[in-house]
Amino acid sequence: MKFDASEINRLRAIPLTAVLEQFGCEPDPADPKYQFKSPVGRLSIDRQSQTRFYAHDMGIGGGGALDLAQLLQTSQIDKQDREAFKNAAQVLGGDITPQAIERAQQRAKEDKATPSEPPKHSDDPKHTQAVKDYLVEDRKLSAGWVDRLFEQGKVFAGVSPQGFVNACFALDNGSIEQRGLTEKPFHGVAGEKGFWTLNIGKPERVVYVESAIDAVSYAEMAYKNKERDFSVVSITGSSREKLQSHVL
């Protein structure tokens, strides 16, 4: 079977969830729209583009349905392997049904129309302690800092719609950054991506980091080194445009 450029582009654009369904990948109950159990281990779909993916256990990422099919078939992505590329194209061109593609497209439309449901704030002492234990024992944050963040309402225990307890960080825009407490934890944002800010003293400088946990870690380290009067801001996956406007 030969594939011309237009057909290859069509195959690349097949929804990734349709490819995952074809290969028997199972959605992760903690994050069924974006995290999957696959033949190559844990695999996630990029929440923004929904065309890129990452195989966490293998440390391999790619973009488009052809890359994903090749990875699931051969456990690698080799742009120079024409035979593997051809096999992936044949699977996408012949094995994935129009119905599977239509289901994936419909789910994508529903996802865009329905905002992610936020976790429910939990005051259950067991949930609170589980989150504190995770932050102190697993993420190596100081217990005193964690207690103060709970008192300030910047961190709390939340229960997801699926019943999972998450460490929740209240973002400046009202959204919530969530961290699961398992060995390979779920990580995501309920609501629009935004910033999480930790102020020390009267800020005269700002440091940007990737996540709220990174922000606390940096603040602790800087404070121990007798640094004062600074802000640490987690960008939490915000777009370049948002970051630029925040800096300006």
**pLDDT one-digit tens code per residue, 142-181:** 999 999 999 999 999 999 877 889 999 999 999 999 988 8
Picking from 32-41, 151-160, 197-206, which range would have the lowest pLDDT averaged per residue? Answer: 32-41
Confidence at 114, pLDDT banded by 50, 70, 90:
very low
d(CA 46, CA 108): 13
In this prediction, residue 183 carries a pLDDT of: 55
**Residue 170 has which token pair?**
């209240």
- Beta strands, E only, the chain: 26-27, 35-38, 41-45, 52-55, 60-63, 120-122, 155-159, 165-170, 176-180, 187-190, 196-200, 206-209, 230-234
Ranges of each domain in the chain? 5-113, 120-247
Average confidence score pLDDT of the chain:
84
Mean pLDDT of the 128-135 span: 96
Identify the CA nearest to 25 among candidates 134, 128, 100: 100
d(CA 121, CA 136): 20
**Residue 192 has which token pair?**
């629009």
CB within 8 Å of 132: residues ≥ 6 apart? 143, 146, 147, 150
The whole-model pTM stands at 0.56
**Residue 184 has which token pair?**
């390979």
Which residue do the tokens 């990029």 mark? 46
- Could you give the dihedral angle defined by the CA atoms of residues 210, 211, 216 and 221, in that order, rounded to the nearest 10 degrees? -30
Burial of 117 (0-12, 13-18, 19+ CB in 10 A): exposed
Look at residue 49 and tell me whether its pLDDT is greater than 90: no
In this prediction, residue 192 carries a pLDDT of: 84
- Could you give the dihedral angle defined by the CA atoms of residues 209, 199, 159 and 37, in that order, rounded to the nearest 10 degrees? 0
Confidence at 28, pLDDT banded by 50, 70, 90:
confident
In this prediction, residue 208 carries a pLDDT of: 94
Look at residue 116 and tell me whether its pLDDT is greater than 50: yes
